[in-house]
Chain A
Amino acid sequence: DAEITQSPRHKITETGRQVTLACHQTWNHNNMFWYRQDLGHGLRLIHYSYGVQDTNKGEVSDGYSVSRSNTEDLPLTLESAASSQTSVYFCASSAYLGGATDTQYFGPGTRLTVL
């Protein structure tokens, strides 16, 4: 069965360190997204990609970067982790053929703590 996975599921790191969160999907979807979820803010879009070599900034992209070298993976890098980046991170993918195929399938999430 097709799926979307994230690793690690939990991560504790220190301020200033570089951290990379992995996202892998086997849906063969063109679109991939990264969100962070904080209490009171819901899901906020960090970066998204509509295909290989395509990346775009979302509403809270400062301090984060992504790259898309293949269809299956969209790793999220925190260049220099800050305590404000402590959050739960969700990766999602969608087919994006228009309409209901914009439906997103979410990974299980990564809980990141920056000390």
Chain B
Amino acid sequence: GQNIDQPTEMTATEGAIVQINCTYQTSGFNGLFWYQQHAGEAPTFLSYNVLDGLEEKGRFSSFLSRSKGYSYLLLKELQMKDSASYLCAVGSDMRFGAGTRLTVKP
């Protein structure tokens, strides 16, 4: 079976950097996805990793270590609009972690 773990909540300050971790156990691996979900809205795609290492996309970066079953999402220069839930998903059948609710404070 699959198990995907993320912290439930995080708080950070506007302009700061925050790292959201995701650990997983899976019988098959076809890449790891990060999604952003604002309250009351649908999830939207942020990033995809299939090889070990860091993928950078503007203020957002995502890291993967397949041997450790570990990923993180790094958000730089935090803005108020980054307050949202961040969902980690792995596997070809797209199972999701419970999500991390990030609150950005002034």
Report A's interface with B, CB cutoff 8 A.
33, 35, 40-45, 48, 58-59, 90, 92, 94, 98-100, 102-109
Q: From B8, which residue of chain A is reached at the shortest CB distance? A: A40
Can you name 19 A-B residue pairings with CB atoms under 8 Å?
A33-B94, A35-B96, A41-B98, A42-B98, A43-B89, A58-B93, A94-B94, A99-B48, A99-B50, A102-B31, A102-B48, A102-B94, A104-B45, A105-B45, A106-B43, A106-B44, A108-B41, A108-B42, A109-B42
Determine if B87 and A43 form an interchain contact, defined as CB atoms under 8 angstroms apart.
Answer: yes
With A99-B31, A100-B48, A102-B33 given, is the CB distance from A42 to B42 under 8 Å?
no
B35 cross-chain contacts in A, Cβ below 8 A:
104
Q: From B48, which residue of chain A is reached at the shortest CB distance? A: A100
- The digit string for B27-59, where 1 denotes a CB below 8 A from any CB of A, is 000110101000001111100101000000000
CA distance A94 to B43 in the complex (A): 13
Among B33, B48, B50, B99, point to the contact of A42 (Cβ < 8 A).
B99
CA distance A59 to B43 in the complex (A): 19
CA distance A102 to B93 in the complex (A): 9
CA distance A98 to B31 in the complex (A): 9
Determine if A107 and B96 form an interchain contact, defined as CB atoms under 8 angstroms apart.
Answer: no
B14 CB to closest chain A CB (Å) equals 26
B73 CB to closest chain A CB (Å) equals 15
Q: From A59, which residue of chain B is reached at the shortest CB distance? A: B95
CA distance A58 to B33 in the complex (A): 19
With A43-B87, A102-B31 given, is the CB distance from A107 to B42 under 8 Å?
yes
Among B43, B94, B98, point to the contact of A45 (Cβ < 8 A).
B94
